[in-house]
A and B are shown apart, each in its own frame.
Chain A
Amino acid sequence: MAAIVRPAPPKKHAAVGEEHLVPVYVWELPVRLSHWGIVAAVTVLTWTGLYMNHPFLIFPGPRQWTMGTVRFIHELAGFELIGALMVRIYWFFAGNHWARWRQFLPLTQRQRRSLKAMFRYYTFQQRKPFEQIGHNTLAGLTYIVVYFLIACECITGLVLFATVEGSPTLRFFVGWIPRVIDIQWIRMIHFLFLFFLMAFFIHHVYSAVLVAMTERNAEMESIFSGYKFVDDETIDEELKIASLEPQQLFSKRKIHRTRDWDR
């Protein structure tokens, strides 16, 4: 892997440390879009859902449509969430190396090392998080759980929607579920998983900020821009493991754009 042509290090990062940091286009547009789509949807769904479970605002006036409006927004946001999740699931199979499903599971030796190292990092046993271009494996496993929770929310939401919306198509797909699990348990699962997502949200924002502060690899910026700054060593190791060609890591157009953006 000696003859990799790499772009010159951006100046402001070179000034920070000795490392040769290279911008790598990690998060493609569908990944970022689905991420922010999920954030927006879950935020709206949380507030509207809490209201729908326990209407904490009472409007005694004669011409109100509060619950009707809240329910409508909840349903719209629900379909947006389903759309975002479907984009992400499609990108598990169609996306770049770091978006694919293999990144989320401890399949390789390196990923298992990452899992152990990240556990040690979070329990104060080591100072630096594991250097990985995409998700670290502990995060990957967490996201698998989160995607599962979101999928459960979407399905239970559709089941509940099917009880008010007389769509034969929808009933064909989810109408059998309440005959297996009672509709009240479905409603309870739908409600309970909301809190797990809320708890995940707290942890996710915290650990992202923490790792970004420790690694100084533009982790927080990367979910807006798509670029992470990675050192040579990590790139070499990942290239070797993934048997990727360097062209797959750096496309000229994208690096050019980064340079513009970085100036």
Chain B
Amino acid sequence: MATEESILDTCRRRGISRRRFMEFCGTMAATLALPEAYTQTIAKALGQQRKPVMVWLEFQDCAGNTESMLRSPHPTIEDIVLETLSLEYHETIMAGYGKHAEAALKRVVDEEKGKYLVVVEGAIPTADDGVYCTIGGRTALDIAREVCGGAAATIAVGACAWDGGLVRSNPNPTGAVGLHEAVPGIKIVNLPGCPHNPVNTAAVLVHYLTFGVLPALDPENRPLFAYGQLIHDQCERRAHYDAGRYVQAWGDEGHRKGWCLFKMGCKGPEANYNCPTVRWNNSTSWPVKAGHGCIACASSRFWDTKSPFYERLPHPAGFGVDVTAGEIGWTVVAGVAAATAAHAVGHVVRDHFHPGEDEVAAKEAPKTEKPTTEVH
């Protein structure tokens, strides 16, 4: 069961050099925005601390977060931290199945109570008593309550586990919600993103192993080191934004020159994430660097609130899906302008056909006033 092995031991066994291990510790310190000296602290902790037991639960998900962790060109230490962190239960990658698998989960919950970590992936359905996601005959809600309730800490990875993600997007037929809504009151770290960035998830675990506590969180329980800054403020295309150089169409001159994707609906200005600094696939690239706008996948309810992904603003509700805020606005302005013009014409027409006292007086006035001015 729980191993006596440390993460450094596992790395050695897997043929990863000390140099590469120290590189990893440095990356983690940088990701957590810690001073350089903490690299040694992290290395020491990962060399000594016994690896905690961890279970990985999947509910209404696409296994995208698991994929994000597993699909790297060669096993990185991030993978090892996550993957071999005494992962006692993980539906996608465990060898056991059926009763035996469920028994493994039960054993962790019973024997390691208050000490194990849980990673949750996927939304939890609440409609119709949660029948839309059941594992071994039990509903997701039931499992989450039991497993997360007894854990030292829970890490909700991906958009779905955070706030329901794609599953919860309108019209949400299964009544899906995120973990902290489904099971309130648990000690939780939310790592939204579609999928989560394994570097951030590893950094949360490393922080926990090194300092024994979870990293500093914002009011929505997202670690500040990863979700504290706007993408826009860290973006490498930001200079083009400030200068006023924008991509106008896919593949135009600006796009080829790497100008700002603001007009193509990039949601960088409203998204908080460390995508531009941590990047993906061994820090190779990230969407905006690759030439596509950000879709704010780490923002709350992003399928509903950040779409259309290729337009600046969402469409106002109740006017049909294609009608933009700008169209409504210009229509209102044009309508008022037209009504005003019509009213003015109405006045002129009325005064012409039905002159009032004033108009009559005005017509007669010049005759009486002119002589007096000429006298002067």
**B356 CB to closest chain A CB, in angstroms?**
5
B350 close to chain A: CB less than 8 A: yes
A191-229: contact bitstring with B at CB < 8 Å (1 yes, 0 no)? 110111011101100100010001000000000000000
Complex Cα distance, B349 from A12, in Å, reads 29
* Contact across chains for B233 and A164 when beta carbons are under 8 A apart: yes
Complex Cα distance, B233 from A53, in Å, reads 18
In the complex, which residues of chain A have a beta carbon less than 8 angstroms from the beta carbon of B233? Answer: 164
Name the contact of A124 in the complex, choosing from B241, B270, B346 (C-beta under 8 A): B346
The dominant DSSP class at the B interface is helix
* Contact across chains for A202 and B336 when beta carbons are under 8 A apart: yes
**B200 CB to closest chain A CB, in angstroms?**
21
Complex Cα distance, B330 from A202, in Å, reads 13
* Contact across chains for B313 and A53 when beta carbons are under 8 A apart: yes
Name the contact of B241 in the complex, choosing from A67, A196, A198, A203 (C-beta under 8 A): A67
B258-271: contact bitstring with A at CB < 8 Å (1 yes, 0 no)? 00001100010110
* Contact across chains for B244 and A192 when beta carbons are under 8 A apart: no
**A104 CB to closest chain B CB, in angstroms?**
21
**B276 CB to closest chain A CB, in angstroms?**
16
* Contact across chains for B246 and A195 when beta carbons are under 8 A apart: no
In the complex, which residues of chain A have a beta carbon less than 8 angstroms from the beta carbon of B279? Answer: none
In the complex, which residues of chain A have a beta carbon less than 8 angstroms from the beta carbon of B326? Answer: 53-54, 191
**A198 CB to closest chain B CB, in angstroms?**
5
Partner-binding segment picked from A28-36, A138-146, A178-186: A178-186
Closest to A127 in B: B356
Once A64-B245, A179-B219 are accepted as A-B contacts, the answer to whether A54 and B263 lie under 8 Å apart by CB is: yes
Complex Cα distance, B245 from A60, in Å, reads 6
Name the contact of A210 in the complex, choosing from B335, B336, B347 (C-beta under 8 A): B347
Name the contact of B243 in the complex, choosing from A59, A184, A202 (C-beta under 8 A): A59
* Contact across chains for A195 and B328 when beta carbons are under 8 A apart: yes
* Contact across chains for B314 and A185 when beta carbons are under 8 A apart: yes
Chain B residue total in the interface (Cβ 8 A): 45
Complex Cα distance, B329 from A203, in Å, reads 15
The dominant DSSP class at the A interface is helix
B51 close to chain A: CB less than 8 A: no
Complex Cα distance, B96 from A187, in Å, reads 50
A122 close to chain B: CB less than 8 A: yes
Closest to B331 in A: A195
Name the contact of B306 in the complex, choosing from A67, A184, A196, A198 (C-beta under 8 A): A184
* Contact across chains for A57 and B347 when beta carbons are under 8 A apart: no
A168 close to chain B: CB less than 8 A: no
* Contact across chains for A191 and B329 when beta carbons are under 8 A apart: yes
B323-339: contact bitstring with A at CB < 8 Å (1 yes, 0 no)? 00110111011011100
* Contact across chains for A58 and B245 when beta carbons are under 8 A apart: yes
B312 close to chain A: CB less than 8 A: yes
In the complex, which residues of chain B have a beta carbon less than 8 angstroms from the beta carbon of A195? Answer: 328-330, 332-333
A152-194: contact bitstring with B at CB < 8 Å (1 yes, 0 no)? 0000000000011000000000000001001111011001101
In the complex, which residues of chain B have a beta carbon less than 8 angstroms from the beta carbon of A179? Answer: 219-220
* Contact across chains for B329 and A55 when beta carbons are under 8 A apart: no
In the complex, which residues of chain A have a beta carbon less than 8 angstroms from the beta carbon of B358? Answer: 214
A65 close to chain B: CB less than 8 A: yes
Closest to B351 in A: A127
**A12 CB to closest chain B CB, in angstroms?**
12
* Contact across chains for B246 and A58 when beta carbons are under 8 A apart: yes
* Contact across chains for B312 and A64 when beta carbons are under 8 A apart: no
A234 close to chain B: CB less than 8 A: no
Closest to B341 in A: A206
Name the contact of A185 in the complex, choosing from B232, B305, B340, B356 (C-beta under 8 A): B305
A–B pairs, 27, beta carbons within 8 Å:
A54-B263, A54-B312, A54-B326, A58-B248, A58-B254, A59-B244, A59-B245, A60-B245, A64-B244, A65-B242, A68-B243, A122-B343, A124-B346, A124-B347, A179-B220, A184-B267, A184-B270, A184-B305, A185-B314, A192-B328, A194-B329, A195-B333, A198-B329, A199-B332, A203-B340, A206-B340, A210-B347
Q: A55-B263, A70-B244 are in contact. List 8 more A-B contacts (CB 8 A).
A: A58-B248, A59-B244, A66-B244, A184-B270, A184-B305, A188-B316, A191-B313, A196-B329
